[in-house]
Amino acid sequence: MAETAQAIEEYGPFLQDGDLLEVLQDLADQVVALVPDCVGLSLASYAEGVTFTMVATTAEIAALDAVQYLDTGPCVTSAEEGRVVESRAGDPLDEERWGSFVRASAVLGIGSTLTLPVSVADRLTGTVNLYARSARAFDGRHEQIARVFSAWAPGATTNADLAFTTREAAQRAPAELKDSLQVQIAAGLLAAEGHVTPEQARERIRDAALRSGLTEGQLAAALVKLFSADAG
């Protein structure tokens, strides 16, 4: 898994810890050896009832974390309840409790997720969030995956030099990520509709937004609504 530089560029200072990114990438490679369908992961910190992403392997993964902060999802549920949480595409219960996240995951081609709580001295300090393409990618692999992160994640969630030092700062993260998620989704829909690559679709959105006076996020949100209405 690559493209960590893209995550830094798009999501700003709270993903700029180079040491964390480097270590996370190494651990991601170990996970892929166990779960070939795993396409990305993130490390989230949990403090004062607030979960926020410290580092992610790609911008797309950070965006999927973000949509959970806007509503809810397995990452948030795991942090709040202190337990392992798995989600699968097509599960009616997941669709009912995590509707926005399930829809965003489907658009971005995610078939399953696995979230592992991270604790220090019986205090929950964060989560490790893994994303895969197939619906049963993590079946029978929970303990092996947990061992990959057992020595590193607790220290990372408690000792990292985070950009967010207050609850108020942490709560600004979803707003900063929301527009990029909308553009990712809109570009995927536009690519399918117009038979162009996602990169070409992103460029079209960027150009049209500039010419119309809208932000990319505003235009992307409008496109998503239009495509959804057409599908209905």
- Where do the domains of the chain lie? 4-171, 177-231
Q: List Cβ neighbours of 134 (8 Å cut-off, separation of 6 or more).
A: 37, 111, 112
Extract the tokens encoding 124. 């929950």
Q: Going residue by residue through the chain (232 aa), what tens digit of pLDDT does each one get? A: 433 333 333 433 334 445 667 777 888 899 999 999 999 998 888 877 877 777 788 877 877 887 787 678 999 999 999 999 999 999 999 999 998 789 889 888 999 999 999 888 888 888 999 999 999 999 999 999 998 888 566 555 555 444 444 334 444 445 445 567 778 888 888 888 777 888 888 888 888 777 666 678 877 887 787 677 556 5
- Quote the pLDDT of residue 226: 67
- Quote the pLDDT of residue 137: 96
Beta bridge partners of 47: 50
Please give the order of strands across the beta sheet that includes 38-47: 50-56, 38-47, 123-132, 112-120, 85-88
Q: Is 3 helix (H, G, I), strand (E, B) or coil?
A: coil
What does pTM read for this prediction?
Answer: 0.66
The superfamily (CATH) of domain 4-171 is GAF domain (3.30.450.40)
Could you give the CA distance from residue 217 to residue 199 in angstroms, rounded to a whole number? 16
Could you give the CA distance from residue 2 to residue 100 in angstroms, rounded to a whole number? 26
Could you give the CA distance from residue 198 to residue 55 in angstroms, rounded to a whole number? 24
The third-level CATH classification (topology) of the domain covering 177-231 is Arc Repressor Mutant, subunit A (1.10.10)
- Quote the pLDDT of residue 72: 85
- Quote the pLDDT of residue 79: 92
State which amino acid sits at residue 141: R
Question: Residue 73's closest CA among 82, 81, 84, 65?
Answer: 65
- Quote the pLDDT of residue 213: 64
Q: How many CB atoms lie within 10 A of CB 165?
A: 10
